[in-house]
Amino acid sequence: MGLVVQFLGSAAAIALLVGLVAWTRRGRGDAAGAGLDGAGRFAEEFPGLTVQELWIAAGGASALAHAGDRALIGWRLGDGVVTRSVPFSRLRIAHRGPGQVELNLDEPGLPRLRFVADEGPWPPGGWTARAPGATTAAT
Protein backbone atom coordinates (compact mmCIF):
# COMPACT_ATOMS: atom_id res chain seq x y z
CA MET A 1 0.00 0.00 0.00
CA GLY A 2 2.83 2.32 0.91
CA LEU A 3 4.47 1.71 -2.44
CA VAL A 4 1.26 2.52 -4.29
CA VAL A 5 0.93 5.79 -2.36
CA GLN A 6 4.58 6.58 -3.10
CA PHE A 7 4.04 5.83 -6.80
CA LEU A 8 0.93 7.99 -7.01
CA GLY A 9 2.67 10.80 -5.14
CA SER A 10 5.60 10.65 -7.54
CA ALA A 11 3.25 10.68 -10.53
CA ALA A 12 1.52 13.75 -9.11
CA ALA A 13 4.87 15.48 -8.57
CA ILE A 14 5.81 14.71 -12.19
CA ALA A 15 2.54 16.18 -13.42
CA LEU A 16 3.12 19.35 -11.40
CA LEU A 17 6.70 19.78 -12.58
CA VAL A 18 5.84 19.17 -16.22
CA GLY A 19 2.92 21.57 -15.85
CA LEU A 20 5.27 24.17 -14.42
CA VAL A 21 7.67 23.77 -17.34
CA ALA A 22 4.79 24.02 -19.83
CA TRP A 23 3.53 27.14 -18.05
CA THR A 24 6.92 28.86 -18.14
CA ARG A 25 7.17 28.15 -21.86
CA ARG A 26 3.86 29.69 -22.85
CA GLY A 27 4.14 31.57 -26.09
CA ARG A 28 7.76 30.65 -26.63
CA GLY A 29 7.32 27.83 -29.16
CA ASP A 30 9.34 24.67 -29.41
CA ALA A 31 12.65 25.78 -30.77
CA ALA A 32 12.64 29.29 -29.40
CA GLY A 33 11.46 30.43 -32.81
CA ALA A 34 14.57 29.20 -34.57
CA GLY A 35 14.26 27.24 -37.78
CA LEU A 36 16.62 24.44 -38.69
CA ASP A 37 19.63 25.98 -40.35
CA GLY A 38 20.30 22.98 -42.55
CA ALA A 39 23.63 24.03 -44.00
CA GLY A 40 25.09 25.18 -40.71
CA ARG A 41 23.82 22.21 -38.77
CA PHE A 42 25.00 19.68 -41.34
CA ALA A 43 28.44 21.31 -41.49
CA GLU A 44 28.67 21.03 -37.71
CA GLU A 45 27.40 17.46 -37.52
CA PHE A 46 29.17 16.07 -40.58
CA PRO A 47 32.37 18.09 -40.94
CA GLY A 48 33.90 15.63 -43.38
CA LEU A 49 31.10 16.01 -45.92
CA THR A 50 30.45 18.84 -48.35
CA VAL A 51 26.83 19.72 -48.94
CA GLN A 52 26.14 19.97 -52.66
CA GLU A 53 22.41 20.44 -52.63
CA LEU A 54 20.07 21.42 -49.87
CA TRP A 55 16.33 21.19 -49.39
CA ILE A 56 14.85 22.94 -46.38
CA ALA A 57 11.29 22.54 -45.27
CA ALA A 58 8.83 25.34 -44.92
CA GLY A 59 9.35 26.88 -41.50
CA GLY A 60 12.67 25.14 -41.15
CA ALA A 61 11.23 22.05 -39.49
CA SER A 62 13.41 19.68 -41.47
CA ALA A 63 16.12 19.59 -44.07
CA LEU A 64 17.61 17.20 -46.55
CA ALA A 65 20.99 17.52 -48.20
CA HIS A 66 22.95 15.71 -50.85
CA ALA A 67 26.63 15.26 -50.04
CA GLY A 68 28.48 12.94 -52.39
CA ASP A 69 26.90 9.54 -52.04
CA ARG A 70 25.29 10.50 -48.72
CA ALA A 71 21.94 11.97 -47.88
CA LEU A 72 21.92 14.13 -44.79
CA ILE A 73 18.64 14.34 -42.94
CA GLY A 74 17.83 16.72 -40.11
CA TRP A 75 14.66 17.58 -38.26
CA ARG A 76 13.67 19.47 -35.17
CA LEU A 77 12.69 17.60 -32.04
CA GLY A 78 11.45 19.94 -29.36
CA ASP A 79 14.26 22.41 -28.77
CA GLY A 80 16.80 20.06 -30.27
CA VAL A 81 17.70 18.76 -33.67
CA VAL A 82 18.19 15.17 -34.80
CA THR A 83 20.39 14.37 -37.78
CA ARG A 84 21.43 11.32 -39.70
CA SER A 85 23.74 10.57 -42.59
CA VAL A 86 22.59 7.66 -44.75
CA PRO A 87 23.55 6.37 -48.17
CA PHE A 88 21.72 8.46 -50.73
CA SER A 89 20.27 5.31 -52.21
CA ARG A 90 18.27 4.83 -48.99
CA LEU A 91 16.05 7.72 -50.00
CA ARG A 92 14.93 5.80 -53.05
CA ILE A 93 13.32 3.07 -50.95
CA ALA A 94 11.10 5.54 -49.14
CA HIS A 95 7.38 4.89 -49.30
CA ARG A 96 5.67 7.54 -51.36
CA GLY A 97 2.15 8.37 -50.25
CA PRO A 98 -0.21 11.16 -51.16
CA GLY A 99 1.43 14.36 -50.00
CA GLN A 100 4.09 12.66 -47.93
CA VAL A 101 7.13 10.46 -47.98
CA GLU A 102 7.69 7.87 -45.28
CA LEU A 103 11.22 6.77 -44.61
CA ASN A 104 12.22 3.86 -42.39
CA LEU A 105 15.91 4.04 -41.55
CA ASP A 106 15.72 0.69 -39.72
CA GLU A 107 17.23 2.13 -36.56
CA PRO A 108 15.89 1.33 -33.08
CA GLY A 109 16.51 4.91 -32.00
CA LEU A 110 14.21 6.35 -34.64
CA PRO A 111 10.54 6.15 -35.46
CA ARG A 112 9.47 6.09 -39.11
CA LEU A 113 10.21 9.52 -40.52
CA ARG A 114 7.42 11.27 -42.34
CA PHE A 115 8.14 14.15 -44.68
CA VAL A 116 5.31 16.19 -46.04
CA ALA A 117 6.29 16.56 -49.67
CA ASP A 118 4.73 17.86 -52.83
CA GLU A 119 4.17 15.70 -55.89
CA GLY A 120 7.60 16.40 -57.34
CA PRO A 121 10.23 13.74 -57.86
CA TRP A 122 11.68 11.79 -54.95
CA PRO A 123 14.47 11.96 -54.04
CA PRO A 124 14.11 15.59 -54.98
CA GLY A 125 15.82 15.76 -58.34
CA GLY A 126 17.74 18.82 -59.34
CA TRP A 127 17.89 20.14 -55.81
CA THR A 128 18.98 23.68 -55.41
CA ALA A 129 19.89 25.56 -52.30
CA ARG A 130 16.85 27.34 -51.04
CA ALA A 131 16.12 29.61 -48.19
CA PRO A 132 14.01 28.32 -45.29
CA GLY A 133 10.35 28.71 -46.01
CA ALA A 134 10.71 28.36 -49.73
CA THR A 135 9.62 24.75 -50.10
CA THR A 136 6.88 22.46 -48.96
CA ALA A 137 8.46 19.71 -46.91
CA ALA A 138 8.19 19.10 -43.21
CA THR A 139 8.39 16.18 -40.86
Partner 1 sequence: MNPLHAPFDPVTLATPFFVLAVVLEVVLARLGKAKGAYETRDTLTSLSLGLGSTVAGLMTGGVIFAATIWVWNHRLFDIPMTAWWAWLVIFLLEDFTYYWFHRLSHERRFWWASHVNHHSSQHYNLSTALRQTWTGGVNGSWLLWLPLAFLGFPPAMIAIQKGVSLVYQFWIHTEAIGRLPTPLEFIFNTPSHHRVHHARNPRYLDRNYAGILIVWDRMFGTFEPEDATEPPRYGLVHNLGDFNILRAAFHEWRGIGRDLLRAKSWRERAGYLFGPPGWSPDGSGETSDAIRTAWRARITPPAAAAATGPKPPVR
Contact residues: partner 1, CB under 8 A? 3, 7, 10-11, 13-14, 17-18, 20-22, 24-25, 30, 47-48, 77-84, 107-111, 113
- Considering beta carbons, is residue 58 or 113 the nearer one to partner 1? 113
- Considering beta carbons, is residue 111 or 126 the nearer one to partner 1? 111
- Considering beta carbons, is residue 18 or 134 the nearer one to partner 1? 18
- Considering beta carbons, is residue 11 or 134 the nearer one to partner 1? 11
Residue 115 burial (C-beta neighbours within 10 Å; 0-12, 13-18, 19+): buried
Work out how close the CB of 110 gets to partner 1 at its nearest, in angstroms, rounded to a whole number.
Answer: 4
Long-range contacts, stretch 35-39, CB < 8 angstroms, 24+ apart: 35/59, 35/60, 35/61, 35/132, 35/133, 36/60, 36/61, 36/62, 36/63, 36/74, 36/75, 36/76, 36/81, 36/132, 37/132, 38/63, 38/64, 38/65, 38/74, 38/132, 39/65, 39/129
Work out how close the CB of 122 gets to partner 1 at its nearest, in angstroms, rounded to a whole number.
Answer: 20
Work out how close the CB of 79 gets to partner 1 at its nearest, in angstroms, rounded to a whole number.
Answer: 5
Work out how close the CB of 28 gets to partner 1 at its nearest, in angstroms, rounded to a whole number.
Answer: 9
